[in-house]
A and B are shown apart, each in its own frame.
Chain A
């Protein structure tokens, strides 16, 4: 983008005028018009309030405003790092996140690929609509249902009994918590997540498939050699974006599924912050932890982005 010639070898004016980038900008001015609304949006609504990030480094006193509150540097961060719960909380958050990412990422892709192979329109629409419905069930009801179904006398264990398998104490062992959390999440979101992939699959040139059939390819082969490659750019981008949200294990679902028996696996950053906040409302403390989260998210995303740029030539920028 930048001119290769060192600037001190030319007069600055000539440099700017001849610069390829400036020419490109002028020629493509319409593209800037397209992006103007979004640009304005981000500047006003995102960068405008961004000074609030410093709350994490201050002792926020509302009457003094953010600028007037005293600066305390890394105090909140060290309070968090020194707390006894720190290790457990980080471990749980990271393990749940990674698990969700690894197990939850392929599921919508697979579902989309499977649905794409269905010929019957009615069946296809039926499965699509049914699988995307759970996304809309509120978390409160969802958690209540999970607890009911996995209770010792709940439907899952009842089925096990009928089948002659021993009952499983799902809710009582910390070791099951991650599985329950992740798989119920997959159940709830696989349909919704597959929508974007279905749209991508709909964009594949049918001539490619026709040519492959003529060449004698089986469905499986067509999936592997046509469908999946066409999904790769979308998949990679979504993977990178997901990596950027890795530390964001949401509060509501975990809190509702927590019980004294699974605490050692179920106490995550967001529930911890909530409990601290119950004892003493702290804007600054939660802001600090939020920032800490963010930095980890950011680092991981940059890492995944770099890897994918090398491996698949697709990346965020």
Chain B
């Protein structure tokens, strides 16, 4: 906003708003700091409630446990690949589809949207899907990670709503008059105006790829293709298993204590390791939530 002086009422409003948001900030921040601290604290202190905010009994065994597994780096690499490639595919499939559905003159859109919606509710289940993947021949390949999630009805619908709200029909009429085809209209005008929704979709799809482990679990057996999440889960289960083994047959309570500690810390460390990259990505996406230079161009 331009430098306009706020009225008294508005100043009070802003003050209250800020206070409330600060409260929300603190309430949300606390558990996050807790997770970070717990990833390097003694789990007995954590679980008995004696570690409240700042780390106590500091040790980095949890992180060491996570990073000593060399597969973590292939995991990162593969996940970054799946996320980038997957998101590009997602956007290429979803955004144009949503645009078509947002056009009032799109013949058959009711039929198509209903056909899409049916799939939201009725699904054949894992076994037929697995058989399908096998028959197509993409089991244990990168395509089994990229194709089954190529789009989602939910996102298509949200995207369509955005287009319906923000891309006025007048734009299309003006384009027709200018002899502009749908293709040019879409790529040269609509897309640039939709940076906000594209950014949001990229974020949603990207995060869902980043967190995906189930497809990998079912369709992949080649370890080199495993995404980060799957490897992290294996690391966590391994440290818990080691602790169990020691509990059963151990003569060494120090080793047992160490394994238990590692297992607990790993739980928290995993969250940091797997989500830090995503958290860092958000500020970049935020930039795109800026309105395009748009509607003014019509009023003339």
Contacts and interface: CB of A to CB of B under 8 A. Distances in A.
A93 to B, nearest CB: 17
Given A45-B147, A132-B282, A237-B161, A34 B96 contact: yes
B119 A316 contact: no
Interface in B95-124: 96-97, 99-101, 103, 105-110, 112-117, 119-124
Contacts of A66: 127-128
Interface string A177-221: 000000000010001000110111011111101100100001110
B128 A244 contact: no
Given A53-B122, A195-B203, A130 B21 contact: no
Q: Interface residues of B toward A: which range?
A: 35 or more
Nearest to A37: B93
A244 B181 contact: no
Nearest to A291: B122
A238 B115 CA distance: 19
B242 interface: no
A176 interface: no
A52 B196 contact: no
Contact of B150 (A41, A119, A206): A41
Interface string A82-114: 000000000000000000000000000001001
Contact of B100 (A34, A149, A202): A34
B186 interface: yes
B92 interface: yes
B279 A154 contact: no
A145 B268 CA distance: 11
A80 to B, nearest CB: 17
Contact of B14 (A141, A187, A219): A219
A25 B108 contact: yes
Contacts of A127: 21, 24-25
Contact of A130 (B2, B28, B47): B28
B300 interface: no
Nearest to A1: B107
Contacts of A38: 93-94, 96-97, 116, 150-151, 156
Interface of B: 1-2, 4, 7, 9-10, 13-14, 17-18, 20-21, 24-25, 27-29, 31-32, 34-35, 46-47, 49, 52, 92-94, 96-97, 99-101, 103, 105-110, 112-117, 119-125, 127-129, 131-132, 136, 147-148, 150-151, 154, 156-158, 161-162, 164-166, 181-183, 186, 196-197, 199-200, 203, 211, 267-268, 270-271, 274-275, 278-279, 282-283, 286, 289-291, 294-296
8 closest Cβ contacts across the A-B interface? Answer: A52-B124, A49-B124, A49-B128, A34-B96, A52-B128, A38-B97, A46-B119, A136-B275
